[in-house]
């Protein structure tokens, strides 16, 4: 068990729910932070309470460690970024190769606000679900961006925050496997049923991998990862 409490960037999606379980396994006090920036998939914010209650029910020690929840409204981020995540336009790839769901600097802002809150709450560790492995090329998900930001935040706030990104080098199938390692089938089931990933904010029908439109890049990634995870999870036959 590491010393010092943790603040988890907790959106209510698959990745951040896995990160929350990862943090509950490691830190004696874990608080959560969600951002409302006018995202089309704001429904993910409504999943947060259900997920927090569900995850606390999985292990008594997790229930004991799970602390306060915080939400911050970042309306300004929605106003400066006219992207497919905050506007009712089709998701597409732009000339630069990035999808138009890219909100410039989103994770830089999120982590900066998280550090300001962690400072006030005397929390040392900040945990986020950024991932370089099968991301959409978002530059603020890169390991180097996070490491540079850790240095900048520690210099600028005169603290020794540690930024953790447990999903940085694993793919979506391995993220499902990590959830399984941390909380077993019960955690996998909770993530399938109650986390939200779909960019369009559609709960839609219940697929094997959870709810969503089934078509957008986020649903596609989640569905393909789940299918790979369940295929790998099948024990080999004796033959």
Site residues, Zn ion (CB under 5 A): 198, 200, 212-213, 216, 219
The minimum distance between CB 220 and Zn ion, in angstroms, equals 8
The minimum distance between CB 72 and Zn ion, in angstroms, equals 25
Q: Decide whether 93 or 169 has the Cβ nearer to Zn ion.
A: 93
The minimum distance between CB 176 and Zn ion, in angstroms, equals 17
Q: How far apart are CA 152 and CA 107, in angstroms?
A: 14
The minimum distance between CB 217 and Zn ion, in angstroms, equals 8
* 234 Cβ contact list (under 8 Å, min separation 6): none
Contact 78, 86 (CB under 8 A): yes
The minimum distance between CB 225 and Zn ion, in angstroms, equals 14
Helix (H) or strand (E) holding 37: none
Angstrom distances, CA of residue 16 to CA of 66, 89, 166, 187, 238: 14, 25, 10, 13, 37
Question: Quick one: how far is CA 85 from the chain centroid?
Answer: 16
Phi, psi of 87 (to 5 degrees): -125, 155
Q: Decide whether 189 or 220 has the Cβ nearer to Zn ion.
A: 220
Q: Decide whether 99 or 212 has the Cβ nearer to Zn ion.
A: 212
Which residues sit opposite 164 in a β-bridge?
127
Q: Decide whether 43 or 72 has the Cβ nearer to Zn ion.
A: 43
Which residues sit opposite 2 in a β-bridge?
27
Q: Decide whether 108 or 213 has the Cβ nearer to Zn ion.
A: 213
């Amino acid at each position: 068990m590491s010393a010092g409490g943790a603040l988890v960037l907790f959106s209510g999606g698959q990745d951040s729910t896995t990160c929350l379980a990862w943090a509950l396994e490691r830190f004696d006090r874990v608080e959560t932070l969600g951002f409302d920036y006018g995202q089309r998939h704001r429904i993910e914010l409504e999943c947060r309470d259900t997920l927090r209650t569900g995850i606390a029910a999985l292990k008594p020690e997790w229930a004991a460690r799970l602390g306060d929840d915080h939400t911050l409204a970042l309306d300004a981020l929605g106003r400066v970024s006219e992207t497919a995540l905050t506007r009712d336009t089709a998701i597409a790839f732009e000339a630069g190769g990035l999808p138009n769901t890219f909100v410039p600097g989103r994770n830089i802002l999120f982590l900066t606000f998280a550090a300001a809150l962690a400072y006030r709450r005397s929390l040392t560790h900040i945990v986020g679900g950024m991932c370089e492995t099968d991301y959409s090329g978002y530059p603020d998900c890169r390991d180097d961006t996070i490491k540079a930001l850790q240095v900048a935040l520690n210099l600028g706030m005169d603290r020794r925050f540690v930024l953790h990104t447990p999903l940085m080098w694993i793919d979506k199938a391995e993220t499902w496997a990590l959830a399984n390692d941390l909380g077993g089938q019960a955690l996998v089931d909770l993530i399938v049923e109650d986390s939200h990933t779909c960019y369009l904010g559609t709960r839609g029908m219940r697929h094997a991998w959870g709810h969503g439109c089934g078509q957008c890049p986020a649903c596609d990634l989640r569905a393909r990862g789940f299918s790979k995870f369940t295929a790998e999870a099948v024990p080999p036959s004796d033959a």
